């Protein structure tokens, strides 16, 4: 399990993200398109078009990490394009555990 500090915000990219994007491309998206500081320790969640794959991007203070998570059913995260901030990382912790 990946430890997540209390007070971490989970940012969900609403809409669909091209899952061919790698760590650097998603980092640029977070910093430039959405004007967020990627080095703040928050989690950034991206969902593919089919909804069966998500990617979670974060900086833990030492380096950048990108964790893909695949499911058998779609992850219900997509609505209109933009970002949705959530103060409670509970759902993201569940995804990071691989469940």
Q: Per the structure block, which two tokens stand in for 26?
A: 């998603």
Q: Which residues contact 86 (CB under 8 A, 6 or more apart)?
A: 9, 10, 11, 12
Residue 25 has pLDDT above 90, yes or no: yes
Residue 29 has pLDDT above 50, yes or no: yes
Neighbours of 63 (CB within 10 A): 6
**What pLDDT was estimated at residue 26?**
93
**What pLDDT was estimated at residue 95?**
47
Condensed to tens digits (0 to 9), the pLDDT of residues 40-66 reads: 888 888 888 887 888 889 887 788 888
Q: Per the structure block, which two tokens stand in for 91?
A: 């759902």
pTM: 0.71
β partners of residue 47: 54
Taking residues 2-26, what's their average pLDDT? 83
**What pLDDT was estimated at residue 42?**
87
């Amino acid at each position: 399990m990946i430890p997540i500090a209390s007070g971490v915000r989970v940012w969900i990219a609403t809409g669909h993200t091209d899952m061919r994007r790698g760590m650097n491309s998603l980092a640029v998206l977070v910093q430039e398109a959405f004007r967020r500081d990627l080095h703040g320790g928050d989690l950034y969640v991206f969902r593919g078009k089919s909804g069966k794959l998500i990617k979670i991007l974060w900086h833990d203070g030492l380096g950048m990490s990108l964790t893909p998570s695949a499911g058998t059913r779609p992850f219900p995260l997509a609505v209109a394009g933009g970002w949705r901030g959530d103060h409670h990382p509970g759902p993201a912790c569940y995804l990071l555990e691989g469940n």
